[in-house]
Chains A and B, each alone.
Chain A
Amino acid sequence: MTNDDASDLLALGAAGALSDDEYDTLEQLLAADPLLAGEYRELQATALVLAEAASEAPPPSLRASVLEAINNVEQLPASLSTAQPATSELSIEASPADASALPASHPHAPSNVVPIRHRRWMIPATAAAAVVMLLVAGLLVNRFADAPSGDRMSAVLNDDDAATHRLTGSLEGLRVVTSTDESAAVLIGSDVALPDPGKVFQLWAVHDDLLVDVATFTPAATGEVAILINDDRDDAEWAVTMEPEGGSDQPTSDPIAISSGPE
């Protein structure tokens, strides 16, 4: 890619004028070059002018509606910000134009998060490939291939040192149990509602600056879920979205369940 190509990509990205595939390319560019990431922030800051120019007072009634709307909304803990997807350079607002504000040791340190449903909340393919799922008989898990391993699942669940991450939200009854001894985790649940027709649930993990597509799943008719995950990092946070059958490369909906740290 030439410098001109890079300049185009940065400017078009800041103006919101790229396709999703082009944002992928931009994300890779920013991840590889902190100077370009700083440049991108500066251009994002410039684009704020377009936002300001559109300012218009909302109807006065909206204020009360918004203040009422947050009453039942759970606030997320700060911890996820340390596990922001690598694409976060594309997901954030513009920073003050000083690239040196970025820690040199972590030039792509997580930045301010955006809604989880946004299309640019993406999954690096390499990270997705790093997570291997094991199918459990009787469950409709749509991805991954490896031998079922009930013994290992039991070992995870019976590990005295295992950490439990309860997922809360509109989808109830799920938790992820992580075991460092077993180098694995288990998504387990009971009385879990079924997804809408033509949809599946999709589990996502966020850790080490990566958003990982873990698996799609549909609970058994009895509402039971049990999935073994070859990923034991207990610093991960977990979220479930409802996606079209076959799952999505990136979340297309708000999370319907999300963890808030180990219990």
Chain B
Amino acid sequence: MVVRQSRFWHPMTIENATLAALLPRVATGDHVAFATLYDELSSMVFGIAKRVARDGTHAEEITQEVFVDLWRLAARFDAAKGNVRSWAATIAHRRAVDRVRSEQAHRNRERVDALAVVPAKSGPEELAVDGESRQRAMSALGRLSPPQREALELAYYGGLTHVEVADQLGIALGTAKTRIRDGLLRLRSVLREEASS
């Protein structure tokens, strides 16, 4: 397997370096720096939470949990090993998936039945409102084939394993794996094109 050492495009509203510089301040208990961090990341964190949890109240709770985590763990963020947005996104996604799986135990998979891929918002008005980084992300997702995007979104936003994605879509397991994998690799190619253009 080839490891490519390419420059990567990250949609962001401010430079990662700027965000990363906030973390040491947050780690010292700087509430102003934390408020800035919240302002920069809250839309992404809340968006993930709401998309995965599919419930505004839960999304608010998850968002609060994520930011408490960021506050608590700020000293342990290592800028050499990642960027703040991705770190926050990972925490948010996992918090949300955990919440969904917990809720699922009580709802007898009601959520999965209702999950049928919900297309990401893509109206031009919404894109204008949500800013450049979201537009660019949406544009990148729009370049996936519909089956790839469907499988990838079910996995990421639905919190489903590839086995559950196959079951949900009524397709072979191998097909589900291929769609998710190829979708992500296609997305990577798109980002590289963005980075080089």
Instruction: State the A residues within 8 Å of B (CB).
Output: 3, 6-8, 11-12, 14-19, 22, 35-36, 38-39, 41-59, 62-63, 65-67, 69-70, 73-78, 80-81, 91-102, 109-115, 117-120
Centre residue among A39, A80, A92 by max chain B CB count within 10 A: A92
CB-CB < 8 A to A66: which residues of B?
A: 38, 42, 63-64, 67-68
In the assembled complex, 18 residue pairs joining A and B whose CB atoms fall closer than 8 Å, in A order, are A3-B1, A11-B180, A17-B161, A49-B137, A49-B141, A51-B44, A53-B138, A54-B51, A57-B43, A58-B60, A62-B63, A66-B68, A75-B27, A75-B75, A77-B75, A92-B81, A118-B94, A119-B98
Q: Tally B residues with Cβ within 8 Å of A.
A: 89
Contact B73 A49 (CB under 8 A): no
CB-CB < 8 A to B48: which residues of A?
A: 51, 54
Contact A42 B157 (CB under 8 A): no
Rounded to whole Å, the gap between the CB of B106 and the closest CB of chain A is 16
Contact B78 A112 (CB under 8 A): yes
Contact B184 A47 (CB under 8 A): yes
Contact B93 A16 (CB under 8 A): yes
Rounded to whole Å, the gap between the CB of A16 and the closest CB of chain B is 5
- In the bound assembly, the distance between CA atoms of A32 and B141 in angstroms comes to 32
Who on chain B is nearest to A88 by CB?
B81
CB-CB < 8 A to B171: which residues of A?
A: none
Rounded to whole Å, the gap between the CB of A146 and the closest CB of chain B is 34
Rounded to whole Å, the gap between the CB of B95 and the closest CB of chain A is 7
Who on chain A is nearest to B23 by CB?
A112
- In the bound assembly, the distance between CA atoms of A219 and B138 in angstroms comes to 53
Who on chain A is nearest to B11 by CB?
A52
Query: Knowing A48-B10, A48-B86, A115-B94 touch, does A54 contact B163 (C-beta < 8 A)?
Result: no
CB-CB < 8 A to B162: which residues of A?
A: 12, 17-18
Contact A55 B81 (CB under 8 A): no
Contact A62 B64 (CB under 8 A): yes
Who on chain B is nearest to A70 by CB?
B71
CB-CB < 8 A to A51: which residues of B?
A: 44, 47-48, 85, 89, 92-93, 137
Contacts A19-B163, A51-B92 known; list 5 others, CB within 8 Å: A55-B134, A62-B63, A65-B64, A67-B34, A75-B27
Centre residue among A92, A102, A115 by max chain B CB count within 10 A: A115
Rounded to whole Å, the gap between the CB of A261 and the closest CB of chain B is 12
CB-CB < 8 A to B103: which residues of A?
A: none
